[in-house]
Structure 1
């Protein structure tokens, strides 16, 4: 869990310029009752090679990653996560999330194509069905710098 939290913190620090440039919550989270959903999208080139390999992710200027963590109480909980990403022209792609578990903690990641060597804003719509039985939808824009 400590490694996962450290990885999430590192990714947050590395993507601070993108965070400041978008309209998403500066905390990169939304709360729905007692469920808090943390989210972050970033260029996959920001990942350390061993982290990418261990999680089956491709490091490339043409790929990005979105990470979702669902928190209830003080721990992550399992959920059904799906959603889509669109560029500002409206081209939409479905995201295929998969769980990544470590030390009893679970995050949900999906990889998606981005324009290489550019900076573009993407529009995300994410649906999370957590243990409370409700489906929570979050929508946010995020700029991704894919020249990393």
Structure 2
């Protein structure tokens, strides 16, 4: 039988990590991502205090202030929740970690195979709260 691709054999699907997302609030840049902890190097997971297993995803948030062409560290507090397609909600407890001279925020959520989660984050900078939403499939 000939497939749409002619004589080429089918190739297996490959994991492609989602692109990092960001939102801008004036001169504040908030970058965020969620990824399975199994995709982390063992040393990175250990440094972040995260279990490296199939049931855990890391949520990382980086907050910077744009000053001219330079991005500087920006103090912030981050809270959030993750919801699956059935509406089940998981609060995310964030803690600060040092990453390349910056202070980023990392949390973890429980995931199952083929989960699709919606993340709702609140990032507070200098008393002003910014809201960010994004989705990730696992």
Q: After the TM superposition, which segments of 4 or more aligned residues of structure 1 sit over 3 Å from their partners?
A: none
Count, aligned residues: 120
Deviations 1:69-126 (A, max 9, x none): 00102122111100100111000010000000145311100011101xx222100000
1:1-148 equivalences in 2 (<5 Å): 17-19=16-18, 28-73=21-66, 74-115=71-112, 118-131=113-126, 133-144=127-138
Gaps of 5+ in 2: 1-14
Report 1 or 2 for greater relative contact order, CA contacts < 8 Å, sequence distance ≥ 6: 1
Taking structure 1 as the reference length, what is the TM-score of the superposition? 0.76
Q: Tell me the secondary structure at the aligned position of residue 46 of structure 2.
A: helix
- Aligned partners of 1:53 and 1:113: how far apart in 2? 18
* Structure number, greater radius of gyration: 2
| Structure (1 or 2) with the greater strand fraction | 2
Which structure's residues are more often helix, by fraction?
1
1:52–1:58 CA contact under 8 A, matched in 2: yes
List gaps (5 residues or longer) in structure 1: 1-15, 20-25
Shift of 1:27: 5.3
| TM, length-normalised to structure 2 | 0.81
The CA RMSD over aligned residues, in Å, is 1.5
